[in-house]
Chain A
Amino acid sequence: MLETYWNVEWIGSFLFSVIRISTPLIFAALGACFTKKAGLLNMALESMMLVGALCGVLASAASQSLFLGFLGAVAGAVAIAGIICYCAFFLKTDLYLTSISINLAASGGTVFILYLVCGQKSTSAGILKSLTIPKLTIPLIEKIPVLGAAVSGHNVLTYVAFFCVFLVYFLLKKTRIGLRIKSVGENPHAAESVGISVRRIQTISFLISGVFCGCAGAFMSMGYVSWFARDMLAGRGFISMSATNISNASPFLSMLSAMMFGLSQAIANALQITSAPAELVSALPYIMTILLVMLFALIRIGRRRRKMAKLAGAIQEE
């Protein structure tokens, strides 16, 4: 039994699937970093990705151009971000409520559009001739036994996702807009007092987050699979949001925690072919997410409590 798993080829392909499954999660988690740094939770990652995925398929099928398809995905996701900002910051609706209702609208609205275009409500597979983003083999690394199988041959967007981790780090740390986003998140009143428009910065953070979700959506429908299916995200937006929350919106840690969730999904997929009950295995990634989020919360609370105890001790000594 074990022998079928513990060989070099299997480990290579398992790691490959971990990276592949993690790609959309990394994109969305990076997007969530911006809004989290601006002091807001982006709960609409799910709908931004879903709309991005649909727009990617539609745009690439209509134009037969990969670039336009990708652009369409990003534009769709950014449009959703714009709608949310308009409602939350200008019409003054509750941001949570806005995100949740936009999520609901997206899950129904995409099915509606899918039906208008394809004449059926489940998938666009075999009906729309949408394009896929090509795969990339890395010349030298490809030859290394386990590493080659795991790292080479991914979708171009997968490599872009890992590159974006550095990009986000740079954007948040070194650029003017990044610093402004952080200042708004840490103390909106202080930022306001030096003439930064909080509402504008938060809108920008949402729009950037939309760009990343568009990439994630494009990967889902033009790389992970080559079609759009209803509710194809299945909670990935919320998983990514938890990844960002756990890691306190640091891009590198967000990537790592996104990959941790990718790992649990990959394990579930690998167990699928064993005799383990399929339904329980499918529930695994979601249960893992809940457990991980709670575990990290416990650690955070413990750390805070120790810090407080230390402070109390220091005060007493004085």
Chain B
Amino acid sequence: MKKTRRIETMFEILRIVVAMGIAYILAMLVLFLISEEPLEAIRNFAMGPLSTKRRFSSMLELMIPFMFTGSCMCMMYSANRFNLVGEGVFLFSGCIITFMAFVLEPLGLSSIVFPAVLIAIGALTGGIIASVPAVAREKLEVNEVVVSIMMNYALLYLSNYVLRNFMLDTSITYSASFALPEASRLAGIWHGTRLHMGIFVAIGAVILSWLFLYHTPTGLSIRICGLNAEFSRYSGIHVVASCMIAQILGGALAGMGGAVQILGLYDRFQWDSLTQYGFDGLLVSVLAKRNPILVPVAAFLLAYLRIGADIVNYSTDVPAEFVSVLQAIIILLVAAQEFLGRYKSKAIFNAARKSMDKAPAKEAN
């Protein structure tokens, strides 16, 4: 049994490595075919993210939202719910906390308490919003994907409305809110880069969601619901409550992410389209196999791919969007049970036969 499990884990890892490898080779191929200076493009794609301090730090910056939305999707995906509202929540919570920053500014909170309060507000917003598709799914049996995707569009327009009507700064040339109060912003931690305190908040969130999912009874029942809803109902787990908790906490994580992103990187709220971080979270959670503790690794891989594509985008003639196709290939190959499945069965079979061959020998001794 132990051997079988070891072979399975090995193949899980192998599958991720092979999937990333295939995607990477495909990326090289695409770059080679369409770029006029393919070697330059490939070098930029592979080595670019690590080449300078600024690029490396921007990769770490990009990991922050990925870690939040990745652990958000780990929560939802652990309960086998494809609640994609994280996308809209990320944007809308950024909008709400900017608004709240102006409301709370007269209180004169210190530069530690103020961001903490705002991040908490972001989490609360996220939890409340995510509960809508969750209730629709658990109580009304409405497909959560539909409701959450529709909500993403509604939240986008709602946030545009709040921005244009309540906090638009007309003294600047682009469409953005008033400047955020200085005390509300997250401090930078690496001189000469934009990397900010948010990365610690993100790591904290990842660790907390791992502890919750893998070391508490509620987390266990959430995961059992995700693996087999019928079984969990039969064994007396409250499926509705568990799945609701998973989705609301997931929403809260995405909300925190939106708040941290705004407070760490921007001096004004200026998002006028969906950020795509919520959908990236799905990729991160699939790569991390629904386990939050692996989220930082997955977030790093994705950020590496993204920054590489961005560098290719502005240094050569290849648009960065080719990465989105690669991402789909990675998701599909990692999630494919049959991919390398034949080799896995063969390995398990061989191991089993070997141990069977050994057993009679022991008896004879």
Closest approach, in angstroms, between the C-beta of A300 and any C-beta of chain B? 8
The listed residue (B142, B323, B325) touching A297 by CB distance below 8 A is B142
Q: Mark B336-365 against chain A: 1 for CB-CB distance below 8 A, else 0.
A: 111101000000000000000000000000
Q: Mark A29-71 against chain B: 1 for CB-CB distance below 8 A, else 0.
A: 0000000000001010000000000000000000000000000
Please, which residues of chain B bring their CB within 8 A of the CB of A8?
none
Please, which residues of chain B bring their CB within 8 A of the CB of A245?
143, 146
Expressed in whole angstroms, the Cα–Cα distance for A112 and B136 within the complex equals 36
Please, which residues of chain B bring their CB within 8 A of the CB of A306?
none
The listed residue (A101, A234, A277) touching B328 by CB distance below 8 A is A101
Please, which residues of chain A bring their CB within 8 A of the CB of B160?
279
Check B142–A293 contact: CB distance below 8 A. yes
Check B145–A238 contact: CB distance below 8 A. yes
Interface: B25 (CB within 8 A): no
Please, which residues of chain B bring their CB within 8 A of the CB of A90?
338
Indicate the size class of the contact surface on chain A: 35 or more
Interface contact tally, CB-CB below 8 A: 141
Interface: B165 (CB within 8 A): yes
**Count, chain B residues at interface, CB 8 A:** 46
Please, which residues of chain B bring their CB within 8 A of the CB of A283?
153-154, 156-158, 161
- Known interface pairs A97-B286, A238-B149, A283-B158; A294-B136 also in contact (CB < 8 Å): yes
Check A279–B153 contact: CB distance below 8 A. no
| Chain B at the A interface: SS class | helix
The listed residue (A97, A105, A279) touching B158 by CB distance below 8 A is A279
B157 to chain A: closest residue by CB? A283
Check A107–B324 contact: CB distance below 8 A. yes
Please, which residues of chain B bring their CB within 8 A of the CB of A249?
none
B137 to chain A: closest residue by CB? A297
| Chain A at the B interface: SS class | helix
Check B153–A97 contact: CB distance below 8 A. no
Check A108–B325 contact: CB distance below 8 A. yes
Closest approach, in angstroms, between the C-beta of B139 and any C-beta of chain A? 9
The listed residue (A111, A115, A293) touching B146 by CB distance below 8 A is A293
Q: Mark B147-169 against chain A: 1 for CB-CB distance below 8 A, else 0.
A: 10111011011101100110000
Expressed in whole angstroms, the Cα–Cα distance for A241 and B142 within the complex equals 12
Interface: B282 (CB within 8 A): yes
Closest approach, in angstroms, between the C-beta of B302 and any C-beta of chain A? 13
Check B161–A93 contact: CB distance below 8 A. no
The listed residue (A116, A235, A280, A300) touching B161 by CB distance below 8 A is A280
- Residue numbers of A with Cβ under 8 A of B are 41, 43, 87, 90-94, 96-98, 100-102, 104-105, 107-109, 111-112, 115-116, 121, 234-235, 238-239, 241-242, 245, 277, 279-280, 282-283, 286-287, 289-290, 293-294, 297-298, 300-301
- Residue numbers of B with Cβ under 8 A of A are 34, 82, 84, 132, 136, 140-143, 145-147, 149-151, 153-154, 156-158, 160-161, 164-165, 279, 282-283, 286, 319, 321-325, 327-329, 331-333, 335-339, 341
Ordered by A's residue number, 10 sampled pairs between the chains whose C-beta atoms are within 8 Å are A91-B333, A91-B336, A91-B338, A96-B145, A97-B335, A108-B325, A111-B321, A112-B321, A234-B153, A279-B158
Given A92-B337, A105-B325, A238-B146, 18 additional A-B pairs, CB 8 A: A93-B335, A97-B286, A98-B335, A100-B84, A100-B279, A104-B279, A108-B327, A109-B322, A109-B325, A121-B319, A238-B149, A238-B150, A241-B146, A242-B146, A245-B143, A283-B158, A297-B140, A300-B141
